[in-house]
């Protein structure tokens, strides 16, 4: 997604201090911010011009002690054709030298009433989410007992019908058919629905239904961190399926490995209950309780005791 200072203005209700006609809303390419204290002192050798420049009370207090010539020179060097925006915190006024330099090269000069530290955190979190790498996956994302479960499978295997059954059982739909997945930080995948199909389910023979309208606001979520993947496939008599759950499979999205389960589909199997139990079992594993491992250890002990009895 292309993010500019205009998005920042709208998201955080920032005030534009210079002439909008002179401003160029350039793309923001990094979530890193810069607090140009060294630059205020005249050291521009490693100036990160492509970052949003955040001016707090410290920077502006130092700036106020400079001579008129130094003020003009520092602000002209601070405002470059690469700089996406300069933001002042704490509701501080922008010095005329900054307004003039910003208008000259089209840099938006913005103001917020929020403290510098809090504003820095809010801007960084927003930009990390917006600039995170994104991919779209054909599937369904459901929040089951707080576990984000990505349900995948070939078209017509029953993903949407299973999601509808899960919603009826009190769980929350995030996305159907297409899931937009962003890696917001290392090992963290967050899924959401495209705006066009948000809160909608497509059921063959029934059509498009609005889950929030039918089941209430508590039946949907706008986004959810993905914890595991369940792949639905038609039952293959020749294939050997895992019956103990000792072997863990994974699917890689970006550089994150998601635990993956393959659930065979055939008439008579209640997929919603199976997926619900899979999510609960996943939570137990994260708490250190692995039923399959415990069974394997007990079985090994029984076999070992039997061998001893023979002697």
User: E strand or H helix at 172, and its extent?
Assistant: strand 172-175
User: E strand or H helix at 162, and its extent?
Assistant: helix 159-168
Q: Is 177 a catalytic residue?
A: yes
DSSP state of 153: E
Is 170 known to sit in a ligand binding site? no
pLDDT computed for residue 210 by the predictor: 95
pLDDT computed for residue 205 by the predictor: 86
Please tell me the distance from the alpha carbon of residue 209 to that of residue 101, in angstroms, as a whole number. Answer: 54
Direct distance between the N- and C-terminal alpha carbons of the chain, in angstroms, rounded to an integer: 70
50, 177, 198, 283: the active-site residue: 177
Which of 73-82, 106-115, 201-210 has the weakest average pLDDT?
201-210
Please tell me the distance from the alpha carbon of residue 178 to that of residue 196, in angstroms, as a whole number. Answer: 10
pLDDT computed for residue 7 by the predictor: 93
Contacts of residue 32, defined as CB under 8 A and 6 or more positions apart, other chains included, come to 48, 51, 124
Q: Which one is predicted more confidently, 69 or 234?
A: 69
2, 57, 118, 138: the active-site residue: 138
**Whether this model's pTM surpasses 0.85:** no
Q: Given a cut of 60, is residue 311 above it in pLDDT?
A: no
Is 154 known to sit in a ligand binding site? yes
Is 285 known to sit in a ligand binding site? no
pLDDT computed for residue 284 by the predictor: 86
Q: Is 231 a catalytic residue?
A: no
Q: Determine the average pLDDT of the residues in 169-177.
A: 95
Give tens-digit pLDDT for 239-274: 776 666 666 788 999 888 999 988 888 887 889 999
Return the SS3 of 40. helix
Is 185 known to sit in a ligand binding site? no
Give tens-digit pLDDT for 45-60: 999 999 999 999 999 9
DSSP state of 217: G
Domains with residue ranges and CATH for the chain: 5-131 (3.40.1390.20), 134-295 (3.40.50.300)
Is 37 known to sit in a ligand binding site? no
Is 114 known to sit in a ligand binding site? no
10, 68, 195, 243: the active-site residue: 243
Strands (E), 72-112: 86-88, 109-111
159, 172, 199, 224: the active-site residue: 159
- Orientation of helix 5-12 relative to helix 116-131, angle to 10°: 120
């Amino acid at each position: 997604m292309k993010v500019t200072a205009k998005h920042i203005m709208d998201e955080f209700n920032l005030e534009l201090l210079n002439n909008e006609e002179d401003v160029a809303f350039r793309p923001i390419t990094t979530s890193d911010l810069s607090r140009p204290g060294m630059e205020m002192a005249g050291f521009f050798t490693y100036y990160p011009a492509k970052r949003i420049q955040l001016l707090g009370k410290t920077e502006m207090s130092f700036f106020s002690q400079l001579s008129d010539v130094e003020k003009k020179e520092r602000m002209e060097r601070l405002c470059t054709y690469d700089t996406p925006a300069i933001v002042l915190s704490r509701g501080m006024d922008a010095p005329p030298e900054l307004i003039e330099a910003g208008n000259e090269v089209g840099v938006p000069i913005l103001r917020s009433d929020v403290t510098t530290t809090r504003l820095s955190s809010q801007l960084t979190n927003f930009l990390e989410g917006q600039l995170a790498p994104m991919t779209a996956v054909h599937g369904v994302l459901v929040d089951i007992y707080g576990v984000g479960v990505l349900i995948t499978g070939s078209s017509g295997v029953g993903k949407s019908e299973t999601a509808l059954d899960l919603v009826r059982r009190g769980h929350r739909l995030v996305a159907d058919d297409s899931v937009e997945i962003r890696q917001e930080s290392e090992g963290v995948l967050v899924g959401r629905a495209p705006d066009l199909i948000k809160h909608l389910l497509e059921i063959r023979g029934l059509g498009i239904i609005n889950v929030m309208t039918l089941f209430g606001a508590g039946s949907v979520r706008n986004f959810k961190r993905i914890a595991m993947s369940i792949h639905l496939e038609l039952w293959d008599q020749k294939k050997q399926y895992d019956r103990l759950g000792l072997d863990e499979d994974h699917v890689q999205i970006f550089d994150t490995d998601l635990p993956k389960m393959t659930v065979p589909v055939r008439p008579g199997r209640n997929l919603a209950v199976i997926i619900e139990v899979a999510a609960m079992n996943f939570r137990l594993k994260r708490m250190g309780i692995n039923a399959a491992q415990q069974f394997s250890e007990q079985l090994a002990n029984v076999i070992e005791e039997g061998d001893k009895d023979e002697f």
